[in-house]
A and B are shown apart, each in its own frame.
Chain A
């Protein structure tokens, strides 16, 4: 190999190694497990040990309330109808979330929104969230459809 090519090779390898190292650092800093609520429950005790989790679920209608500086709500399966004595837990595949992050809640966060909460699972089974992303609910199409089905059935 000519010395010129060798120089290029050394230069490129040095750059790539440095970047790979930075990438590795950044990966460790920001990796988190992404799970739906049922997947979270299915992972059992492991869930308590993972320092960063992202859990996705639909915000249960009527569950959002303020508790001092925190916002408490439940996420669960799509179109989940909470019974009167609703307590989130594995039986209903719903999860109680206590959000204490420094960011304001996103505009899209509301009933039926698909939310992704970053945080960790506490021993008491509530999820402590530090960051929330919410996706617009596509519920309206479904609601429309339900209405039409209803009226069609009546006729």
Chain B
């Protein structure tokens, strides 16, 4: 099987090379057959890389420990789904997985557009296949997942090494979320390759009008949504698996995934300005290139050992190759942009400061600042070392100080932007649209303050949540009411039809609403508390706000591939028994004697009680840590709604059905919003 995989990779390499040559010569000589052949080669490339990754999966499933990568990341007793997820559990396999997703994207993209954008597509194919070549070459020559296990002997000869069992998968990664999270993250990150390919093709062919923008917007949306959900799933994994009570730590690995997402967010907004007003053309090209560059850079950052991270990816020498690849893709794009500047002229002028386009402009400004600040903070150790030899790191306070105000400002724009008119919003429309939300938002500030929300940013964020939430709900309400009136539908039908008839606009609102809930959850962080309780015995109890926890039992039990110390802790709220929490401290068998905590979490909409048991050394008394984390659940709910909204926004608009199509009467001012979609 390893030979099959190896051969497939070589085949993929050759096929991709052919695809580039055929596509480019095909378009230059206007030979349709050659172009079609290049396109088919891109699809064949996908099949070849698929064969490679499926052979790797097969090697994992059949416990073939002659393969070094399999031996290092799997073991016989590992459950099947973890064996499969081990495919992307390490450096080599995760890169192959990355390449595979790229080729799947490429195949889908060239197939979907086989009869569209005829002059542009061959270049799209060529750019995508060039990326594929880079990855297959990395596998063939640098990090080969199919390498046989062996050791270099002092004499220089290599002795093959075939262990009876593998090293196993890191117990922290033996978690269902770790089966889903990395593929989602990669699918999100790799997705930015498609807009990049279209952007380069548009630059080459000088077709910088609407075509490439319309096509890439959807692809970016897919990548963006998947990446967002992937990042949040990663946070969720960290929260329930790592046992430090939080879900985000500004670790370089996390930052690496967030940066392209922020740029993608900026692009999804600024693209509307180009569609509507023909402005920001250069800017959009730059954003697409930047998003792609950041996603490759993120991959480099986390695997090259350039910055230190708690993430367990092996340091390796792939950094140089990746940097070279980035330099090539980036400088090529920059050259094309500079050369095609005359084709990127704006069609119209900027509107007033209080206008839709200006809200987009400020949205883009702060998103880019956020990305830059995160990049700066992440890279600071490297930069400072270059500068004067001192490696200086910055921590969470730096990232929070900059990004919390930015985030709240963005939330504000989320409420305001969609309701502002293009060019210039009239005072009247401002009053009409924002009076009620502003009154309710500020009105909620008083009880919030009285109920103890004294942390300024948390207070401001919650007030904004009310403000923005009201604007969004009112948009649905007003739209549905008008529709129900016009068509005779019932109100709830009207809401559904309204959304499905204008998926981009209302899907966008749903995503915005998801963010409102995310902010509710993030605000709760300001009130997190931690209690450390060393040397607790059976019968010990402790009070955390309205909760009372009592240790009922402690002991030892044997799991399938670990030994656990457990504790049963009863949780009472206002004296009433709510739950028995069962945190554990496990030691996994095998060579890898790693101990891990299995936290017990009681989640409610109000608060999480997060209980960590660090085990006992004497069998009588154990150490506990309790985190009191208000509102965390809203982060996960908001994430789910965000994902749902993205799916809605990607649906094609439903055309008018059998019912008599009636124009919904819209008032002046709202008409402009309709046009936004």
Contacts and interface: CB of A to CB of B under 8 A. Distances in A.
Size range of the interface on A? Answer: 35 or more
Contacts of A91: none
A11 B409 CA distance: 13
A31 B244 contact: no
Contacts of A140: 167, 591-592
Nearest to B154: A149
A29 B397 contact: yes
B242 interface: yes
Contact of A152 (B151, B394, B595): B151
Given A4-B353, A104-B243, 7 more contacts: A5-B350, A19-B369, A22-B402, A23-B398, A26-B399, A26-B401, A141-B72
Interface stretch (B360-368, B548-556, B637-645): B360-368
Contacts of B361: 8
Nearest to B400: A26
B667 interface: no
Contacts of B312: 135-136
B463 interface: no
A104 B614 contact: yes
A34 B393 CA distance: 6
B239 to A, nearest CB: 14
Interface in B369-389: 369, 373, 376, 381
A4 B362 contact: no
A35 B366 contact: no
Given A26-B394, A34-B393, A148-B159, A107 B597 contact: yes
A22 B401 contact: yes
Interface in B99-113: none
B397 A30 contact: yes
A136 B172 CA distance: 10
Contacts of A126: none
A15 B72 contact: no
27 contacts: A4-B352, A5-B350, A8-B350, A19-B402, A19-B405, A22-B402, A22-B405, A23-B376, A26-B394, A26-B402, A29-B397, A29-B398, A30-B398, A33-B392, A34-B308, A34-B381, A35-B391, A103-B244, A104-B623, A108-B310, A133-B310, A136-B170, A136-B312, A136-B594, A144-B163, A148-B159, A152-B151
A116 B311 CA distance: 13
Tell me if B's interface is mostly helix, strand, loop or mixed.
mixed
A56 B279 CA distance: 50
A23 B353 contact: no
Contacts of A86: none
Nearest to A66: B617
B612 interface: yes
Contact of B362 (A15, A34, A110): A15
Contacts, number: 131
Interface in B311-361: 312, 314, 350, 352-353, 358, 361
Most chain-B CB neighbours within 10 Å: which of A34, A103, A133, A138? Answer: A34
B153 A149 contact: yes
A103 to B, nearest CB: 7
Interface string A1-41: 00011011001100110110011011101111111000000
A110 B402 CA distance: 35
Contact of A148 (B151, B392, B393, B595): B151
B391 A34 contact: yes
Contact of B161 (A8, A34, A54, A144): A144
A100 to B, nearest CB: 12
Nearest to B617: A66
B249 to A, nearest CB: 9
B209 interface: no
A140 to B, nearest CB: 5
Contacts of B666: none
Nearest to B241: A107
B532 interface: yes
Interface in A28-65: 29-35, 54, 56
A12 B358 CA distance: 11
A69 interface: yes
A26 B244 contact: no
B310 A15 contact: no
A116 B308 contact: yes
Contacts of B163: 144
A102 interface: yes
Contacts of B159: 148, 152
A107 B400 contact: no
Contacts of B365: 12, 15-16
B530 interface: yes
Interface in A106-145: 106-108, 110, 116, 133-136, 138, 140-141, 143-145
A107 B242 contact: yes
B151 A149 contact: yes
B147 to A, nearest CB: 13
B625 interface: yes
B390 to A, nearest CB: 6
A8 B401 CA distance: 24
B482 interface: no
B596 interface: yes
A121 B625 CA distance: 27
A139 B615 CA distance: 25
Given A11-B362, A106-B244, A136-B594, A23 B373 contact: yes
B310 A135 contact: yes
Nearest to B591: A140
A19 B409 CA distance: 12
Most chain-B CB neighbours within 10 Å: which of A26, A29, A136? Answer: A26
A23 B401 contact: yes
Contacts of A29: 397-398, 401
> Which 5 pairs from chain A and chain B are nearest by CB?
A26-B401, A26-B398, A30-B395, A30-B397, A34-B391
Contacts of A108: 172, 310, 594
Contacts of A27: 394, 398
B596 A107 contact: yes
A66 B621 CA distance: 15
Interface string B576-595: 00000000000000011111
Contacts of A141: 72, 167
A145 B530 contact: no
A2 to B, nearest CB: 9
A32 B402 contact: no
Given A27-B394, A141-B167, A56 B534 contact: no
A143 B310 CA distance: 22
Contact of B401 (A25, A54, A106): A25
Nearest to B404: A22
Nearest to B173: A136
B396 interface: yes
B398 A134 contact: no
A55 B391 CA distance: 11
Nearest to B366: A15
Contacts of B381: 34
Contacts of A11: 353, 362
B406 interface: yes
A11 B396 CA distance: 27
Nearest to B399: A26
Contact of A33 (B151, B390, B595): B390
Contacts of A31: 392-395, 398
Given A138-B314, A148-B151, A149-B151, A104 B532 contact: yes
